[in-house]
Structure 1
């Protein structure tokens, strides 16, 4: 691959990781990025910190070094880490029924749900049973109460299904009840001041604007290999009554809406830079956030196989994705990498065996039903640079 020259990509890249810069620049040259940034840490050292393109394509506003962007479901791993830290401190027993600290949650046959169920998409509450407005979603206590009063869509613990948005208020209640604060406040205090789950006006004003133009896949999507699956996914996505549609689109809102960005949605609302996301994973894999034994237990796969919501096989630990079709990981990382991808193509990844931490956030929404190939290409280049 040749180097793509031009002013579109700025920042620092260690010579050993030159391939990451080349891949990133090629994506811009091919029209597969509007604005984006990528950051990589290797053995605790920042080796890649690149950005380029436009933070706002309509206004022609360039992406700057400190431009934050919505990271979508990368948020879930950060929220889960907050719950794991509280468990490590002895504030909560994640293996015990949540009714011990959330009595009202036991309604409608949910009395056996544990904290581990909340963190691994096994609760059976993938969607709200009534329309929720963005304004309502800014009240975590009200969202938790709404979910506590709902009947599960499957027997909790009997299979798993992606809780795209409800996850945040379920897992977030562990934090809210045991730390006495919002997930956003806890995360900023404990993990990093620029991991914004609930952004103030100044951060929203600097944030990149999302665009919905589809991204060419850049290669074959593994999901397409499953006979008929793409058709079923498309049908489910368009059917307002399907579990997939209900899970993804309620609350229904634009992630360019300041009400959403300020609302502190703990499953999908984090606004940050890839640099700060990668730094979070770097600290995590080096034992600066959780003890190594806590992290090892946290990333142990709890569920793997058919997903009752996404219709593909997924794999989850306690809040972290493990390598699968929605968290594409190059071969060298498939046994040890963990993290979370996001709807727009973003990804946060940590690999304690490789000593690698990566953050990537674009503002051009991807179209891959099985995950975004842009992030995979950057991960592949980063792993290859390790030798």
Structure 2
């Protein structure tokens, strides 16, 4: 196997990260970027163009791509900014800010329930309740559908990943409080002050920098998805079963839409963030310290955001029988270390995205990481993305962090 061509730079003491990144990219047909900040300073800035065809567009550190669920952390930052300013209370009912949301048993659902995937609204469509899927980029229709739904479980009593609804749920709260859309708020209050090349809704002027995703494997068919859900012990007409099927279909549809100008311009906050590794790393660096004089959130706000908020909760029945040490763990909008997603070890927080994207930070060490790739694999994995393993270990060693979680 020919070694991957890696460009960029590393600060003294971080050379092993370059070597590990090069080894990781040997088996990756797509392009990738890796950036690491330490105490607000960029110490690793690497990229590899891979072998993928990119419509003649060169790939480099300024190229941008779809971030998938790494976007959720950007949405969470907006909510925590409003909370720190006293405009939003995480433990308050969502209906305080979004009155229509109180319908059908959701009056006591809190903002924290939305941030921690505890709201019982994992899909936009609900076949059993007669709620058809709204148009993919009709934000108003999607928000109305969520407000009108009856949750699948009592909010706060269980948790399950809200793959796409998360962005519209939290994003609508941000819009109601701030008076502006989640994409506009993020641009003005986060990306602007930090100088990030990261958007929720890519401006046309930045299109020349966009590098499309490379489909390594096709998305599962509807039949394959239905079979996998049935294997979990869910009857086909169970509301949770129909919600999971609807969510999987929408994930495939929105991922395909990100290959179009309309899809990239539309604000799809749970998965449609577009940016590069430098910006993801810089965003996290500004959560755990100052970057060029800018710190986004106070240590106490970050502490609340990364405190465990689902460890005490089961998955909704009958999925609760699958609970175990490798299950997902959430704070308020961020993923926490677990067997399948070790991040930077105990005390770290972050968010992964489908296909291998990753952003994370470790407050105690001042380390922040951004990894953006173009190879999109739909193959589920019980463990971390194989491309992460070596360079994550190298980052931890360079930072003096324990090698094992």
Question: Residue 106 of structure 2 contacts residue 155 of structure 2 at CA under 8 Å; is this kept in 1?
Answer: yes
Summarize the alignment of residues 103-142 of structure 1 with structure 2, pairs less than 5 Å apart.
103-129=99-125, 130-136=132-138, 139=139, 141-142=140-141
Question: Residue 29 of structure 2 contacts residue 52 of structure 2 at CA under 8 Å; is this kept in 1?
Answer: no
Matched, 1:276 2:279: yes
1:375 corresponding residue in structure 2? 388
Matched, 1:362 2:369: no
- Aligned in 2, Cα 1:183/1:151: closer, same or farther, shift over 3 Å? same
Q: Distance in 2 between the 1:84 and 1:43 partners?
A: 21
Summarize the alignment of residues 12-27 of structure 1 with structure 2, pairs less than 5 Å apart.
12-27=9-24
Deviations 1:218-259 (Å, cap 9, x if unpaired)? xxxxxxxxxxxxx957956xx895543322332623131222
Candidates 211, 214, 228, aligned match of 1:211: 214
Matched, 1:318 2:329: no
RMSD of aligned alpha carbons: 2.6
Deviations 1:165-203 (Å, cap 9, x if unpaired)? 000000111210111111111112222242200011232
What's the offset of the Cα at 1:306?
Answer: 4.9
Question: Residue 117 of structure 2 contacts residue 166 of structure 2 at CA under 8 Å; is this kept in 1?
Answer: yes
* Unmatched 5+ stretches in structure 1: 216-230
- Aligned in 2, Cα 1:260/1:386: closer, same or farther, shift over 3 Å? same
Q: TM-score, normalised by structure 1?
A: 0.86
Summarize the alignment of residues 29-48 of structure 1 with structure 2, pairs less than 5 Å apart.
29=26, 31-48=27-44
SS at match of 1:73: helix
Q: Distance in 1 between the 2:177 and 2:198 partners?
A: 20
1:302 corresponding residue in structure 2? 309
Deviations 1:261-301 (Å, cap 9, x if unpaired)? 11111111000010011001001101610111111111111
Deviations 1:146-168 (Å, cap 9, x if unpaired)? 10011111111110010000000
1:290 corresponding residue in structure 2? 297
- Aligned in 2, Cα 1:235/1:133: closer, same or farther, shift over 3 Å? farther
Q: Distance in 1 between the 2:231 and 2:159 partners?
A: 21
SS at match of 2:34: strand
Q: Distance in 2 between the 1:307 and 1:259 partners?
A: 35
Matched, 1:200 2:232: no
Q: TM-score, normalised by structure 2?
A: 0.82
Q: Distance in 2 between the 1:349 and 1:19 partners?
A: 19
Deviates more, 1:13-22 or 1:105-114: 13-22
- Aligned in 2, Cα 1:280/1:55: closer, same or farther, shift over 3 Å? farther
- Aligned in 2, Cα 1:192/1:135: closer, same or farther, shift over 3 Å? closer
- Figure out how many residues of one structure are paired with residues of the other and give that number: 361
* Unmatched 5+ stretches in structure 2: 126-131, 219-226, 401-405
Q: Distance in 1 between the 2:6 and 2:58 partners?
A: 11
SS at match of 1:190: helix
2:224 corresponding residue in structure 1? none
Question: Residue 72 of structure 2 contacts residue 333 of structure 2 at CA under 8 Å; is this kept in 1?
Answer: yes
1:223 corresponding residue in structure 2? none
Summarize the alignment of residues 95-244 of structure 1 with structure 2, pairs less than 5 Å apart.
95-129=91-125, 130-136=132-138, 139=139, 141-193=140-192, 194-214=197-217, 235=231, 241-244=241-244
Question: Residue 52 of structure 1 contacts residue 62 of structure 1 at CA under 8 Å; is this kept in 2?
Answer: no
Candidates 331, 334, 340, aligned match of 2:351: 340
Question: Residue 285 of structure 2 contacts residue 361 of structure 2 at CA under 8 Å; is this kept in 1?
Answer: yes
